[in-house]
Amino acid sequence: MNRIAILFSFAVLISCQQENIDQKISQDTIARHMAALASDEFQGRMPCSEGEEKTIAYLVEEMKALGLQPGN
C-alpha cells in the first residue's frame, strides 16, 4: 500500500509542476523512481530510520528538480 501511495504522490507531483506543463509522465520515469525508492539504499523507508531520512532527501531533491516550492 505504501508503494502505491508513493507512486501516486509522484504522479500527482509530476502532473502539477508549474513550469514544464508539457512534460508527460512516462512509464520509464515512474519505473526509475520506484526502483530508486525500493532499493536497499533506502533501507525499507521505515519511520524514524536512516532510510526515512534518505527517502525524504530524495523526494525533496526530485520536487526541487521539478521547480516545485513549499506551499506554506
pLDDT tens column, 28-41: 888 998 898 888 88
Spatial distance between the Cα atoms of 27 and 24, rounded to a whole number of angstroms:
10
Count up the domains in the chain and report the number. 1
Q: Does 44 fall in a domain?
A: yes
Q: Does 37 fall in a domain?
A: yes
| Residues 18 and 37 sit within 8 Å (Cβ to Cβ) | no
Q: Does 58 fall in a domain?
A: yes
Q: Does 71 fall in a domain?
A: no
Does residue 71 carry a pLDDT above 80? no
34 CB-side CA count, 13 A: 13
**pTM of the predicted model, to two decimals?**
0.59
Closest CA relative to residue 5, chosen from 27, 25, 34: 34
Dump pLDDT digits (tens) for 6-16: 766 766 666 65
pLDDT tier, 25 (very low <50, low <70, confident <90, very high otherwise): confident
Structural domain including 46 reads 2-14+25-65
